[in-house]
Structure 1
């Protein structure tokens, strides 16, 4: 199951590269909210079509006993997704990425508090060590200052204090939403098919993004070239594959343990990005060190340990 979670991170990494290719090769810019809407439309169509083809019961609304949990999974997952894209409007890529990777530790804590899952010292230490690895790779400006060390190498936005605080709050809300979504997947377990969870997430996100485009009068931009059309559709397909693999992997694994593997995405993204684009690495040593820390922490955290985190909280 952990291999499926890792495969999902690879799919998401390719998706991010395709989105960057779309941005570079589209004469008329396509808004982020439209990209998310198209991605989720493809995901919803693919997931429901697959369930109809496989004759899975209740393909559109899921099993009766877990429908509320499925709705909660969809809503929480959308907030996690929305926060990432929103924060990029006011924060650097490195800052947003670093905050996003608070999710695994919070997922393990949520699963321990609400589901009674064992959250081991090993898993906590692995999550914290992986976060240190992410910091070495992304070199976030809120720790090291804004300037040449921004790994994106493209742009650093000037913030107003109020906007920065709002973006930080939204990012933390997104981290909470993502952790809640992963915990809910574990709570649902085998009572619903994993593709049901994908359908609810994509359905909730599709409703929210289309509503946002209508409310804010954001025009829908049709791809002006065949290449940009292929990139847009490819992003949707890769997103669908990634969400499906992630849901299947988390469904059969402890929430906290499974979420640790998500740290691999930053390594996959870096490798795929460097094979596709020419991005000078200003901090090659720290990037390498961060990658090694993440790989070791992922291995360390996914090896089962009998000692629960509750022992750390005991004063006896």
Structure 2
């Protein structure tokens, strides 16, 4: 049986692969370069990337719904900081598995805030994904002395980042009805570039190798966002979910190959539950469209 990838799935696969490369480079660069500095430099390149896209499209950079765009950029800044911090301070596979729970939180928030239907099947899928997070995090109040030896602050930041990412996605869904994708992409790097220096401490001069890492972070993550945005525009929810789940696989491969991080049974089991829940949510959304 021949496997055929639709154009939307190809965009998502490329975007997912680029995001996984960016995550690996964040981990490598973050060993010495502070998180806020990485964010600032990513933001500068991101502004240039969006400017090129908007210049080619002949569209203004600021859009029409500017207050909502500003809110999206602010939430995106917090979410991106949490993502960078979690990737730097947690094993790569664990960080990506936890951060990947956002589809479940998006479904819950859309149900509670927007009144979107989720159904019993959708609620069970959300519960499955959240159970997977519990297995990866293994909080001490549930698992006792056998709980995970993960940085508790990094875990808290990652979990907060999931909520902020989910809010950002809901805002993007609203903005997508009236704004060009590159306009929506422009606001987070703009906010990052302005705000991150205000919170930065202990900036360092990157080495030549670290500059390559930083350039790779900016290019891969902005490119990944661009291709995934194109994929979301033309592909069904179920297929999108199936392709994006590969980011967890890529993270495990990069962690084992370049960082010597071998996922344990808890991470693998939790990751499988999260993937299963995400796939079911995707199929549920696809049936409702």
1:20 is displaced (CA, Å) by 2.6
User: Does 2:172 match 1:190?
Assistant: no
2:70 aligned partner = 71
User: Does 2:247 match 1:299?
Assistant: no
What runs of 5+ residues in structure 1 fail to find an aligned partner?
151-155, 309-316
1:207 aligned partner = 194
Q: Is the 8 A contact 2:236 2:286 kept in 1?
A: no
Change (3 A) 1:95 1:272: closer
2:5 aligned partner = none
1:232 aligned partner = 214
Q: Is the 8 A contact 2:128 2:277 kept in 1?
A: yes
CA distance in 1, matches of 2:12, 2:247: 10
Q: Is the 8 A contact 2:95 2:158 kept in 1?
A: yes
1:46 aligned partner = 49
Query: How many residues are paired up?
Result: 279
1:121 aligned partner = 120
**More deviation, 233-242/268-277:** 268-277
1:314 aligned partner = none
Q: Is the 8 A contact 1:46 1:240 kept in 2?
A: yes
2:79 aligned partner = 80
User: Does 2:164 match 1:177?
Assistant: yes
Change (3 A) 1:231 1:307: closer
CA distance in 2, matches of 1:139, 1:83: 16
Change (3 A) 1:73 1:256: farther
CA distance in 1, matches of 2:239, 2:167: 15
Q: Is the 8 A contact 2:96 2:251 kept in 1?
A: no
1:34 is displaced (CA, Å) by 0.6
TM-score, normalization by structure 2: 0.76
Higher helix share: 2
Write the deviation string for residues 121-180 of structure 1: whole angstroms up to 9, x where unpaired.
Answer: 3333223323333444x3545454578954xxxxx55x7xxxx6x984x65553332211
User: Does 2:209 match 1:222?
Assistant: no
